[in-house]
Amino acid sequence: MANADKFKKVIAHAKEYGFVFQSSEIYDGLSAVYDYGQNGSELKNNIKRYWLDSMVKLHENIVGIDSAIFMHPTVWKASGHVGAFNDPLIDNKDSKKRYRADVLIEDFVEKINIKIKKDIAKAKKRFGDAFDEKEFRSTNGRILDRQKKIDEILLRFKTAMEKEDLADVKQIIIDNGIICPVSGSKNWTDVRQFNLMFDTKLGSVSEEADVIYLRPETAQGIFVNYLNVQKTGRMKLPFGIAQIGKAFRNEIVARQFIFRMREFEQMEMQFFIRPGEEDKWFEYWKSLRMKWHEALGLGKEKYRFHDHENLAHYAKAATDIEFDFPFGFKELEGIHSRTDFDLSQHQEFSGKKLQYFDPELNKSYVPYVIETSIGVDRMFLTVLATSFEEEEIKKENGKIETRTVLRIPPALAPIKAAILPLMKKDGLAEKAREILDDLKYDFNCQYEEKDSIGKRYRRQDAIGTPYCITVDHQTLEDETVTIRERDTMQQERVEIRKLSSIIDGKVNFKNLFKKLR
């Protein structure tokens, strides 16, 4: 199935099975804002728990906080967001559509890239085993020309952005004949900078009210609490502060479902360290964060690092963990070595000392920071899109049937087990409820008695429930049930008293945490 088709199916499935709904849908929705339904919110909570526990429970020196969304307006001056949290935007006068100029240019470059890839694929076919891609790239005239064009465009764009030369950004679009995908015209407005922060007013009297912002990231809530946590928790360097919370960005182009939203959630951790130790800790967090992703078993080949070449002036190093989304490799998480930039800025703007007295060195300094930052919603999308499968199964009568199954990592599955009485009568429903009453304290379970057992299995497959437990007449005689496993569809007769440990063995977070050692 083509990726685009699969992605459409995933989005439809997310709605049909109570994972993700368009916000305010009965009013035709609100662009790039989504609600999580009964199954989606469970999956999301499990993702958050996996992240927070891996930080706070597994590290003696990391603690969690929950800071407010509203912050003092000066915070965003100190952080640089008021001056520089901008995207360059451009409008097409014919279609009246608005675009991010950088995205238009990147998409144009990607088209040239695709042509290069096609040439390479053709040559590979022609030359067979003897084909050497590296040599072909460095000698084939057409490819060299195309690569040169890409390099020139990207360099010119980078220089224009650094010089804040928005006229030249527009000129790049004109010179390369980039057209509006909707109107097909080159009738562009000038490029303008657009600040992504939402603002609102604090206070009841509007004339006197101060403009404040909805936070565009959770990290600043951590920086401004650095000293509070360090002092009250008697934390010694190195130590980390982790936080999960909502962030808001007025994204110009919102697309790709929950990949780019205007209201979303972040999981961020700032690790405060002694200056000079940043390279060691940067490597530590790079490797641990990758392990965290890989432990889920979605496929190692789906992740890659993308090191930033154009670093912010204060950054020592930065890398993205990219994921192979249905629309290609895109940023899932950022890991940044941020020096003492953030704390020093807050020190300067607030006039309060934000330092650490290092007893070993017998001196005070502003700690350096390594940051890990990941979007909950993007993480949710990796799990949902990768676990969605339409599987063909051969029935006993030889017929082929398709079952839709979400192979969600068991620890993250919204429902861990479904308890299904074969029929309502003969005391089977009561027995099933008895089992449910026993399991529900440890696991999120569901009881279902409607429709045939086959239909009930399909419904549970479609929401990714690892186990279905069926209660039949034999159960009443010998205290056994059949337990069916989601991925293999294997059924096994087991004693009721063993159910808890069987389910636990599969869904316990410990299975994931052990892989992080």
Q: Which residues bind ligand ATP (CB under 6 A)?
A: 217, 249, 251, 260-261, 264, 266, 331-334, 373-375, 377-378
Report the chain's C-alpha Rg in angstroms. Answer: 27
DSSP per-residue codes, 346-409: HHHHH-----EEETTTTEEEPPEEEEEEEEHHHHHHHHHHHHEEEEEEE-TTS-EEEEEEE---
Q: Diameter of the chain by CA atoms?
A: 82
Q: How far is the CB of 44 from ligand ATP (least distance, A)?
A: 13
Give me 476's structure tokens.
């009443």
Q: How far is the CB of 178 from ligand ATP (least distance, A)?
A: 20
Question: Which residue's CB is nearer to ligand ATP, number 373 or number 475?
Answer: 373
CB closest to ligand ATP, residue no:
375
Q: How far is the CB of 162 from ligand ATP (least distance, A)?
A: 18
Q: Where are the alpha helices (DSSP H) in 128-164?
A: 133-139, 141-162
Three-class secondary structure assignment of 2-34: CHHHHHHHHHHHHHHCCCEEECCHHHCCCCCCE
Identity at 273, one-letter amino acid code: I
Question: Which residue's CB is nearer to ligand ATP, number 355 or number 373?
Answer: 373
Identity at 86, one-letter amino acid code: N
Question: Which residue's CB is nearer to ligand ATP, number 274 or number 316?
Answer: 316
Q: How far is the CB of 320 from ligand ATP (least distance, A)?
A: 7
Q: How far apart are CA 429 and CA 255, in angstroms?
A: 46
Give me 374's structure tokens.
């990941």
Question: Which residue's CB is nearer to ligand ATP, number 229 or number 244?
Answer: 244
Question: Which residue's CB is nearer to ligand ATP, number 378 or number 456?
Answer: 378
Question: Which residue's CB is nearer to ligand ATP, number 335 or number 418?
Answer: 335
139: exposed, middle or buried (Cβ count in 10 Å: 0-12, 13-18, 19+): exposed
CA 359 to chain centre: 39
DSSP per-residue codes, 188-254: B---EEEE---EEEESSSTTTPEEEEB-S-SHHHHHTTHHHHHHHTT--SSEEEEEEEEEE---SS-
Q: How far is the CB of 379 from ligand ATP (least distance, A)?
A: 7
Closest to 190 measured CA to CA, from 203, 206, 208, 174: 174
For 162, which DSSP code? H
Q: How far apart are CA 52 and CA 63, in angstroms?
A: 9
Q: How far is the CB of 443 from ligand ATP (least distance, A)?
A: 29
Residue 41: other Cβ atoms inside 10 A: 15
Q: How far is the CB of 261 from ligand ATP (least distance, A)?
A: 4
Question: Which residue's CB is nearer to ligand ATP, number 322 or number 389?
Answer: 322
Question: Which residue's CB is nearer to ligand ATP, number 289 or number 484?
Answer: 289
> Could you give the angle at which helices 141-162 and 101-127 cross, rounded to 10 degrees?
160
What are the percentages of helix, strand and coil residues in the chain, rounded to 5? 45, 25, 30
Question: Which residue's CB is nearer to ligand ATP, number 325 or number 467?
Answer: 325
Question: Which residue's CB is nearer to ligand ATP, number 216 or number 414?
Answer: 216
Q: How far is CA 413 from CA 48, 108, 228, 300, 302, in A?
A: 13, 39, 36, 20, 20
CA 474 to chain centre: 46
Q: How far is the CB of 442 from ligand ATP (least distance, A)?
A: 32
Q: How far is the CB of 196 from ligand ATP (least distance, A)?
A: 9
Question: Which residue's CB is nearer to ligand ATP, number 260 or number 456?
Answer: 260
Question: Which residue's CB is nearer to ligand ATP, number 292 or number 356?
Answer: 292
Question: Which residue's CB is nearer to ligand ATP, number 168 or number 251?
Answer: 251
Q: How far is the CB of 220 from ligand ATP (least distance, A)?
A: 12
Give me 18's structure tokens.
């109570």
For 259, which DSSP code? G
Q: How far is the CB of 415 from ligand ATP (least distance, A)?
A: 26
Q: How far apart are CA 470 and CA 485, in angstroms?
A: 12
Closest to 216 measured CA to CA, from 193, 242, 245, 253: 245
Q: How far is the CB of 304 from ligand ATP (least distance, A)?
A: 14
Q: How far is the CB of 163 from ligand ATP (least distance, A)?
A: 21
